[in-house]
């Protein structure tokens, strides 16, 4: 038997009691969707492990591994060699499949897990047998049960026995689609793609809303948002992007509202528009990339003024994060390089010279009355463009 598989270990999903089955179904669906363009695979689950097997030679297991590493709900994954359930076959498979790793190590230990209780050898016996065999085959090796260079893991399951080394860390989280749907207000900046990723990690399906103000913001800025979302979608699955034209509204604010309150007023209109769209899209919450104190519009007082217009919960997963922490995550999900490309965002055009860092709600509400916000909002909401974004 020459079979090789990817074993994916489910995380928290195992704690979900009666919902577990439903969670697992969503996880399998998400994995299958991400593997569709890679080749033909069989994907099945047994005892909180998901098995990914290539159905033919063309199916690329390396690429499949890369894709699976980004599926939320998987805490760890390992490539494993499959052996027939016979002690001698398991020993040979371990020696052959892990040859390179074992040759590069000085110490090792073997750990066996036997979920097939009908298998006639108990775990310690399998470990001892495989260990002894490997010592013979690789005479340079020593056993170290406390700090081995390599842990050879043997899992005796229903169909086969699997041999592998320590699993690599997976994306963690819970499967996207099990946590409802929320709308991320996405800019081309560093923060909002990371915020989107963090909520997707907790099982939330995403709809994205972007405000553009052409010609002040360019087509390239919009395209940048699309590329960012494509990166996020490697983890978050398909994302619908709704782009709203905010030019007229922004011009009206610039021309008629009290200058030092312009940013907070703009943000209130963003939230109002986003909430309406979110409702139509069946989203239960909004998400932003705000982080406390990062800019004038992200002080407690400014956030309070913005939040006052929203009836939906607004999640800000980065509220307590430092820029360095956000940058680290942006590197991890590979959005950093795109985010730092210099295109204007609608939040950065017409910015007041001295924005008020501690706006007071009733002054903001008064300042807002200088424009016919309702009509402008209604008009903006008729000028939307929609597209589906999905990583390959
Ligand atoms: P980001 O890095 O996400 O751009 P930022 O630190 O630059 O955030 P702001 O520009 O004040 O902060 O924006 C705060 C939040 O408002 C963003 O994280 C995003 O959720 C939302 N936002 C900003 N600009 C837009 C836009 N053009 N379209 C949709 N949402 C936006
Ligand atoms: Mg920004």
From the CA of 291, which ligand is nearest? 1
DSSP 63-120: HHHHHHTT-TTEEEEEEEEEE-SSHHHHHHHHHHHTHHHHHT-SEEEEEEEE--TTSS
Tokens of 315: 């999640």
Tell me the mean pLDDT in the region 268-287. Answer: 98
Mean residue pLDDT of the chain comes to 94
Contact 151/111 with Cβ under 8 angstroms? Answer: yes
Contact 11/75 with Cβ under 8 angstroms? Answer: yes
pLDDT band at 15 (very low <50, low <70, confident <90, very high): low
| pLDDT at 1 > cutoff 50 | no
CA–centroid distance, residue 279 to ligand 2 (Å) = 24
Output the ligand 1 site: residues, CB below 6 A.
Answer: 185-187, 189-192, 209-211, 270, 288-290, 294-295, 297, 345-347
Tell me the mean pLDDT in the region 196-218. Answer: 97
Nearest CA to ligand 1 atom 17: 289
Tell me the domains of the chain and their CATH numbers. Answer: 4-169 (3.30.2130.30), 181-389 (3.40.50.620)
Ligand 1 pocket test, candidate residues 199, 250, 346, 347, most atoms within 8 A of CB = 347
CA–centroid distance, residue 238 to ligand 1 (Å) = 21
Task: Compare 392 and 133 and report the one with higher pLDDT.
Answer: 133
pLDDT tens, 22-79? 899 999 999 999 999 999 999 999 888 999 999 998 899 999 999 999 999 999 999 9
CA–centroid distance, residue 187 to ligand 2 (Å) = 6
pLDDT band at 20 (very low <50, low <70, confident <90, very high): confident
pTM of the model: 0.94
Residues with CB under 5 A from ligand 2 (ion): 187, 189, 345
Contact 14/20 with Cβ under 8 angstroms? Answer: yes
- The one-character DSSP state at 377 is H
Q: What is the radius of gyration, based on Cα positions, of the chain?
A: 26
pLDDT tens, 351-380? 888 889 999 999 999 999 999 999 999 999
Cα–Cα distance list, 128 to 18, 98, 278 (Å): 38, 17, 59
CA–centroid distance, residue 188 to ligand 2 (Å) = 6
| pLDDT at 4 > cutoff 90 | yes
Tell me the mean pLDDT in the region 135-142. Answer: 97
């Amino acid at each position: 038997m020459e079979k090789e598989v990817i074993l994916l270990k489910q995380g928290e999903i195992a704690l979900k009691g009666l919902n577990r089955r439903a969670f697992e179904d969503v996880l399998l669906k998400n994995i299958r969707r991400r593997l569709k363009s890679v080749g033909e695979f069989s994907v099945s689950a047994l005892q909180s492990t998901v098995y990914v097997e290539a159905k033919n030679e063309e199916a690329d297991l390396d690429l499949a591994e890369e894709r699976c590493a980004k599926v939320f709900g998987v805490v760890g994954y390992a490539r494993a060699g499959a052996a027939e359930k016979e002690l001698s076959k398991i020993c040979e498979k371990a020696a052959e499949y892990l040859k390179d790793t074992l040759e590069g190590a000085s110490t090792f230990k073997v750990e066996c897990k036997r979920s097939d209780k009908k298998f006639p050898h108990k775990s310690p016996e399998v470990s001892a047998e495989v260990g002894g065999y490997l010592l013979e085959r690789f005479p340079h090796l020593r056993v170290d049960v406390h700090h081995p260079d390599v842990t050879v893991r043997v899992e005796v399951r229903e169909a086969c026995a699997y041999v592998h080394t320590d699993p690599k860390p997976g994306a963690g989280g819970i499967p996207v689609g099990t946590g409802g749907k929320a709308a991320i207000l996405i800019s081309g900046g560093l923060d909002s793609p990371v915020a989107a990723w963090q909520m997707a990690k907790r099982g939330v399906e995403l709809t994205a809303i972007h405000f553009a103000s052409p010609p002040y913001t360019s087509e390239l800025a919009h395209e940048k948002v699309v590329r960012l979302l494509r990166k996020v979608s490697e983890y978050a699955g398909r994302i619908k992007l709704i782009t709203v034209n905010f030019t007229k509204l922004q011009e009206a604010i610039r021309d008629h509202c009290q200058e030092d309150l312009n940013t907070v007023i703009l943000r209130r209109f963003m939230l109002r528009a986003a909430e309406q769209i979110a409702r139509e899209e069946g989203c239960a919450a909004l998400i932003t990339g705000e982080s406390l104190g990062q800019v004038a519009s992200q002080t407690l007082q400014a956030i309070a003024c913005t939040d006052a217009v929203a009836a939906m919960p607004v999640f800000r997963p980065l509220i307590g994060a430092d820029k360095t922490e956000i940058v680290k995550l942006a590197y991890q999900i590979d959005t950093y390089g795109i985010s730092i490309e210099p295109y204007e965002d609608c939040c950065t055009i017409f910015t007041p010279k001295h924005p008020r860092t501690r706006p007071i709600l009733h002054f903001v509400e008064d300042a807002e009355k200088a424009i016919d916000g309702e009509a402008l909002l209604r008009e903006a909401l008729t000028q939307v463009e929609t597209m589906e974004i999905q990583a390959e």
